[in-house]
Amino acid sequence: MKYKRILLKLSGEALMGKKNFGIDSERLHDYAKDIKQITDLGVQVAIVIGGGNIFRGFDSNNEYKIDRVQGDHMGMLATVINGLALQSALENVGAPTRLQTAIKINEVAEPFIRRKAMRHLDKGRVVIFGGGTGNPYFTTDSAAVLRAIEIESDVILKGTRVDGIYDEDPEKNINAIKFDNISFEEVLKKGLKVMDTTAFTLSQENKLPIIVFDMNKKGNLLKLISGEKIGTTVNL
């Protein structure tokens, strides 16, 4: 396998499948099977998942808006809900897991402890990180990069519904050009949306490559881990 330890970043919206809200059990099961497939090959997998399928915050222009800090805390709890769902799906296919959270919810998850997380990974357990960074004003992209650095991940794999990074939105422009490889500097220069600025800069400073790929295509995760050219690689 090309990578020994990976951080898989999934959006909350990815769990919706064909639904408009919530969790699609079939999509969840497909993800669990794909992840189990690579753990069986000895790849250590950590996961950060968003909460956008449950809560995305309120429009700042809405007079009934929720306070930003309160809203961010609600989003953190949404990621824990998704983490619990993914944990259950993984265990249903035989993958041992641990859910760790940046906010203390001792009845449902372990608190995030770096050394403990790394021991779980060494023992072949999938570690799911919930609760974002535990701080408002930081996205789950930032949480993904931070955790990847902390656990000494080889790469961040960002699973999306498109097969890489394009110069324009491929869902709006069928003539959009896909990049197979691109540098951090080029992404910034072209103004391409890969991750939020904080997360992207942190990844760049720590020389941590990012691969954006289509997680919804069965077998893509295994192909990527096996060294096949899938998606778009962002590197120095």
Least confident of 61-75, 97-111, 182-196: 61-75
User: What average pLDDT score do residues 141-148 get?
Assistant: 97
User: What average pLDDT score do residues 156-163 get?
Assistant: 92
Task: Please report, for the chain, the start and end positions of each structural domain, with discontinuous segments joined by +.
Answer: 5-235
Whether residue 169 is predicted with pLDDT greater than 90 in this model: the reply is: no
Residues 6 or more apart whose Cβ sits within 8 Å of residue 3: 43, 154, 155, 225
Give the model's pLDDT for residue 67.
Answer: 86
Q: Which CATH class is domain 5-235?
A: alpha beta
% of the chain at pLDDT higher than 90: 81
% of the chain at pLDDT higher than 70: 97
169 vs 159, more confident: 159
Q: 212 and 158 in contact (C-beta within 8 Å)?
A: yes
pLDDT digits (tens, 9 = 90+) for 202-234: 999 999 999 999 999 999 999 999 999 999 999
52 vs 129, more confident: 129
Give the mean pLDDT of the chain: 93
Give the model's pLDDT for residue 77.
Answer: 96
pLDDT digits (tens, 9 = 90+) for 46-65: 999 999 999 876 566 666 67
Give the model's pLDDT for residue 58.
Answer: 58
Whether residue 187 is predicted with pLDDT greater than 80 in this model: the reply is: yes
User: What average pLDDT score do residues 175-183 get?
Assistant: 94
Within 13 Å, how many C-alpha atoms sit on residue 104's CB side?
1
pLDDT digits (tens, 9 = 90+) for 92-127: 999 999 999 999 999 999 999 999 999 999 999 999
Whether residue 42 is predicted with pLDDT greater than 90 in this model: the reply is: yes
